[in-house]
Amino acid sequence: MTISTISHHPPIIAPSMLKCDFGNLDREIERLDAAGAQWLHWDVMDGHFVPNLSYGALVIESVRARTKSFFDAHLMISDPEKYLDDYLKAGLDAITFHIEAVPEPTELLKRIRAAGRQAGLAINPGTPVEWVEPYLADCDLVLVMSVEPGFGGQKFMPQVLEKVKRLKSQLPAQTLLSIDGGIAAPTIAAAAAAGCQVFVAGSAVFDEPDYQSAISHLRQLASAK
């Protein structure tokens, strides 16, 4: 099993693999490597926690050895604790699950950390920030959803930036603040100014012909906060 050894310095652009061409997954990973993507963001959906189904641990595991990129899983699934071992085996570097799926997340966050991976907690746009606040010390990453999870290509919800600012003021310095949904050239600078360091981008990378220029443009806009 390969775990990423790449160092990552914010701002980090994390292409959302939900939007890639799955008929050419190898080629997509090669193109992202060549484009300088530091992280790959794997959106796992179960058709239950969210109204869409994507892929699971087997697909992620099958491509783990093809790249040294940091593998960031976003589990939009019910009962993530049942499947944790599969995702650990898949070679993920960070595993994020939703507070709405696991309202008492301490044990699961600790299991992820005990396995030597980064533990993340995600929060939906409509969920009060107070839900995650008691658990911030157990997180390596907090993921703020800026769309309702389930689909790529949705419109960014600027109201979540209040949540981002509040979290930023409370998070330990080493904990990464990530944002996911509708991140693109017109929205990324505001998210960076509010305190985000990791920017998940699906359409803004995969709908562009040149991944390298798309990623470097986003990174540049996120750096100029």
Active-site positions?
Answer: 43, 180
Cα within 13 Å of Cα(199), Cβ side? 36
Instruction: Please return the burial class of 55, using the count of CB atoms within 10 Å of its CB with bins 0-12, 13-18 and 19+.
Output: middle
Among 181, 187, 197, 219, binds ligand DX5 (CB under 6 A): 181
Q: Does 183 bind ligand DX5 (CB under 6 A)?
A: yes
Considering the complex, what minimum distance in angstroms separates the CB of residue 173 from ligand DX5? 25
Give residue number: closest CB to ligand DX5. 202
Q: Does 182 bind ligand DX5 (CB under 6 A)?
A: yes
Q: Does 140 bind Zn ion (CB under 5 A)?
A: no
Among 13, 32, 35, 43, binds ligand DX5 (CB under 6 A): 43
Q: Does 18 bind ligand DX5 (CB under 6 A)?
A: yes
Q: Does 46 bind Zn ion (CB under 5 A)?
A: no
Work out the number of other CB atoms within 10 angstroms of the CB of residue 114.
9
The residue assigned the tokens 């993921």 is 143
Question: Which residue from 181, 185, 184, 150 is spatially nearest to 163, judged by alpha carbons?
Answer: 181
Q: Does 74 bind Zn ion (CB under 5 A)?
A: yes
**Backbone phi, then psi, for 198, in 5-degree steps?**
-120, 130
Instruction: Give dist(CA 58, CA 165) in Å, integer.
Output: 36
Q: Does 202 bind ligand DX5 (CB under 6 A)?
A: yes
Cβ–Cβ < 8 Å for 89, 57? yes
Contact residues toward ligand DX5 (CB under 6 A) are 16, 18-19, 41, 43, 74, 147, 149-154, 180-183, 200-204
Contact residues toward Zn ion (CB under 5 A) are 43, 74, 180
